[in-house]
Amino acid sequence: MQSGKLPHKWDSIQESLLNLLGAGEEADIFLRQVRCLKARYARDQFDLAKEVIRNYSARAIEKALGFCVSNSLFSAIEFRNAAEYFEARLEKEQEQIAQLPKVTLLKPVTATKKRDLSAYEQVVKGGDSS
């Protein structure tokens, strides 16, 4: 048997959530703090966090995670609320972008016929250039 501390069942759950969140520093801080501060409700907290990850876009999750960590909101409920808020903002931005007028690319203009400068001199002097 291995000496030292045995891995806790929440270690593997926390590790899988960390991987789902991209294994970044903010995700690690968030999950560690949730587990520490909400130890009695770790199962519920991690289950809700997993549900949030499953139900919201990666961009909303990223923004929510950053918001929670920077504001010391270490709760899966706060994480869900933030994800919901950022998801709604992202959807609104997408709607606004969709309403913008479409850009139509014009075909390149064909090159104009180049004339010798002497032809223009002829016209200025009153002569026929054709």
Is residue 73 scored above 70 in pLDDT?
yes
Q: Is 60 exceeded by the pLDDT of residue 7?
A: no
Please report where in the chains the tokens 């899988």 appear, as a residue: 16
- The domain locations on the chain are 9-107
Residue 10 has pLDDT above 60, yes or no: yes
Spatial separation of the C-alpha atoms in residues 20 and 88, rounded to whole Å? 21
Instruction: Round to whole Å and give the CA distance between 5 and 101.
Output: 62
Looking at the chain, which runs of residues are DSSP E strands?
none
Of 29, 33, 89, the residue nearest 56 (C-alpha):
89
More confident residue, 97 or 69: 69
d(CA 79, CA 130): 78
pLDDT at 130 over 70: no
Helical ranges in the chain per DSSP H: 9-20, 25-37, 42-55, 58-70, 76-99, 117-124
User: What is the DSSP code (8-state) at residue 71?
Assistant: T
pLDDT in tens, 19-67: 777 778 888 888 888 888 887 888 888 889 999 999 999 999 999 999 9
pLDDT in tens, 78-111: 999 999 999 999 888 887 777 777 767 777 766 6
Rounded Cα distance between 17 and 46, Å, is: 8
